[in-house]
Structure 1
Amino acid sequence: MTEATAFPPTRRRRIAALILLTIVLHVLAIHWGKNYFNAATADERAASSVSVTLRPLALPTQPVSLPAAAAPKSPKPVLKKPRPPASPAQPPADSVATLAAAGDSPPTSDAPAPQPLQTHDVAEPAAPKEDSPPLVQGTQYRIDPPPSAALEYDVVAFSDNLTWRGTSTLDWKTDRSRYTVDGEVYTRLFAKIAFLNFTSSGEIGAFGVEPELYTEKKRNRPATNTHFNRERNVVSFSASTTSYPRAGGEQDRASLIWQLAAIGRGDSGKFAPGAVIDMFVAGVRDGEVWRMQVLGQEEIRLITGAAQVWHVVRQPRPGSYEQRLDIWLEPGRQWYPARLRFTETNGDYLELSLSSIKTS
């Protein structure tokens, strides 16, 4: 039997196409697994015109003011009216009459007459001495966390001249006393490929969203834990020996978004062009003060239509290799994050645009 008889032309073409498809899929798989965001199909290679240029911002000049705990509501004092002074005791009328008939006068007391009730002004608190250290005051925020919701985002990333598309989910759950937020960034080729998973959990307290544990897992890397220890008042990391004192109001990379949303819902006056909201943010190895600058209100286009949003930016210090973070919060939908963008110093970026919301 000849080769032509064993494999007819039609079948040979199918086998050749299958081999070619297998080679193409292997090449794509290599590109997908190259590194963290280096994932793209052949027809999604970035054109030369693709670039992301964000307007650099001047760093805030006002002093840093970290959050202060909201003052507990104290009951109003009950003011009691002073009782009028008691009148001097008088002998009964019949006793006076009897004494008068006998020619005697009523007995008089040598006790001093009662004086009228004196009133005094409350003394003002003493002013601090000139050599006392100045009082360091933070900023108090009225907090109203948004209701629980499952949010889904369309993801576009650009890295190493490759454009990658995928999906991200954010599940925010709260019962008004505690919260959890679970996030994932992934794509699908032959199966679901997760590039980033993270979880933040804690309580809703006097400072607002107060994380206790932040866990982050990147693809091909071990998970890391960031602890906000309440017993020892220490912020510590599983990925380093660095630690910081915990004073209250500290955030992690996931909780800070929901803290901003809670401030927007409860204290929207803090969102004004030029305003700054300061927070200490702990990452996976260390932490620092993030100065969230409020740029103003904007209109952006989403898959669900136009959205009126507040644009907030974290601009890293000059010379830093930290990411720039842009957050667009939508007051018309409970201040949920409508768009997030993380931009590297070399122009690579990861952008998440809200595509759907499911509330419980």
Structure 2
Amino acid sequence: MRFGNIAAPLRRHGRLLAVCGLSVLLHAAVIAWLDTRMSAPLPLIGNAPLAVRLAGVAPAAPPAPAPPATPAAAPATATPDLPAPAPLQADAPAAIPLQAAAAQPSPAPAGGGVAAVEMPSRYRVAVPPSASLRYEVRGGAGSAGEATLNWETDGVGYRLAVDGILGDIESEGATDDAGIAPRQARYRQGAGSAGIAFDRERGAIVLESLGRSVQDATGSQDGATLLMQLVGIGLADPDQMQDTVDLYVGRPDGAAVERFQVLGRERITTPLGAMETLHLARAGKAALEVWLAPGQGWLPVQLRATAPDGSVRTQVIKQIVRQPAP
């Protein structure tokens, strides 16, 4: 009886323990299932997930230590030796004193619209006395007409008219410390004409036919006065006529430095007889050659123009009339 009484409670407790163990196992299974479901990634709706990558940034290098300051040496300046002016003949016009200076960039004037240019060298210039020149023009087939150059000056102002292989140009102006200083020039082209004006105060050359301006420069010339400026340079000091001569020239379509190469002495034949000359040439699309005669006051006694199409025209002196001094 005692063992029977004890076995009955044990059986009851065994069933209870079995039920509790089964409950524990069921709870563990449920917890494991829930853990699996919660750890899975949730599906996204809409756009794909963005991938972000962080790039390593190299640390900035520390600034290099500044070198110790050392006193800068003052640049040495060399003063060029200027050639002494050549002695002038008693009847030669007085030269305008000028100090030869190296070319320096010219600043654009106030107001804008004008580009800076490199100024050519300046020369000593003597104003040529008044003279009228007549030429015969020779083309590829022989004589092709006549050309003229009329230069009038009182030493202060001037008037110049050329009609020949350079075109039909009228110019008027004055003189300054750089030689001939045009105020305005008119280029006749067929039935019309184109004018330019030299605005010295504003430092501009006004191209009237284009309605705009370009930079002016000291000693600037037009297409006619460039001849007489070359004459004045030779009159003032023949030693300046070496290597090249640069002139800043304004024309209806713009302005530029025109370089004349000094080719040397040359004896030419003219209707006035043989003459010793200095031969200069300007290269370019419209090439120009000039023969200046020192024995004739450095006047241009022969000119030759080569057009872009290769045609050549030459004008040769046949008469020189010198006007009396005012």
Structures share a fold, TM > 0.5?
yes
Q: Which runs of 5+ in 1 are unaligned?
A: 1-68, 73-135, 187-194, 317-321
Q: 2:159 aligns with which of 153, 177, 180?
A: 180
Asked if structure 2 preserves the Cα contact closer than 8 Å seen for 1:242 and 1:286, the reply is no
Q: CA RMSD in A?
A: 2.3
Deviations 1:10-41 (A, max 9, x none): xxxxxxxxxxxxxxxxxxxxxxxxxxxxxxxx
Task: Give the direction of change, closer, same or farther, for the CA distance of 1:299–1:258 in structure 2 (3 Å limit).
Answer: same
State the SS of the aligned residue for 1:139.
coil
Q: 1:211 aligns with which of 153, 161, 182?
A: 182
- Deviation, 1:247, is 2.9
Give the distance between the partners of 1:163 and 1:336, measured in 2 at CA: 24
> What amino acid does structure 1 have at the position aligned with 2:155?
R
Q: Which residue of 2 aligns with 1:223?
A: 193
Deviations 1:140-189 (A, max 9, x none): 4221122101100001234xxx6661111110111111111112249xxx
Runs (4 or more) in structure 1 with deviation over 2 Å come to: 69-72, 136-140
TM-score (norm 2): 0.60
1:156 aligns with 2:132: no
> What amino acid does structure 2 have at the position aligned with 1:174?
T
Q: 1:305 aligns with which of 262, 273, 287?
A: 273
1:315 aligns with 2:283: yes
Asked if structure 1 preserves the Cα contact closer than 8 Å seen for 2:139 and 2:313, the reply is yes
Deviations 1:93-120 (A, max 9, x none): xxxxxxxxxxxxxxxxxxxxxxxxxxxx
Q: 2:126 aligns with which of 140, 144, 156?
A: 144
Asked if structure 2 preserves the Cα contact closer than 8 Å seen for 1:325 and 1:341, the reply is yes
Q: 1:243 aligns with which of 213, 218, 232?
A: 213
Work out which of the two has the higher radius of gyration on C-alpha atoms and give 1 or 2: 2
Asked if structure 2 preserves the Cα contact closer than 8 Å seen for 1:304 and 1:355, the reply is yes
Task: Give the direction of change, closer, same or farther, for the CA distance of 1:300–1:164 in structure 2 (3 Å limit).
Answer: closer
1:288 aligns with 2:256: yes
Give the distance between the partners of 2:259 and 2:120, measured in 1 at CA: 14
Q: 2:304 aligns with which of 328, 341, 347?
A: 341
Q: Which runs of 5+ in 2 are unaligned?
A: 1-96, 101-117
Deviations 1:235-264 (A, max 9, x none): 011221442222321111111110010000
- Aligned residues: percent identity? 30
Asked if structure 1 preserves the Cα contact closer than 8 Å seen for 2:99 and 2:124, the reply is no
- Deviation, 1:197, is 2.7
Task: Give the direction of change, closer, same or farther, for the CA distance of 1:184–1:329 in structure 2 (3 Å limit).
Answer: same
Q: 2:222 aligns with which of 238, 244, 252?
A: 252
Asked if structure 2 preserves the Cα contact closer than 8 Å seen for 1:196 and 1:219, the reply is no
State the SS of the aligned residue for 1:223.
strand
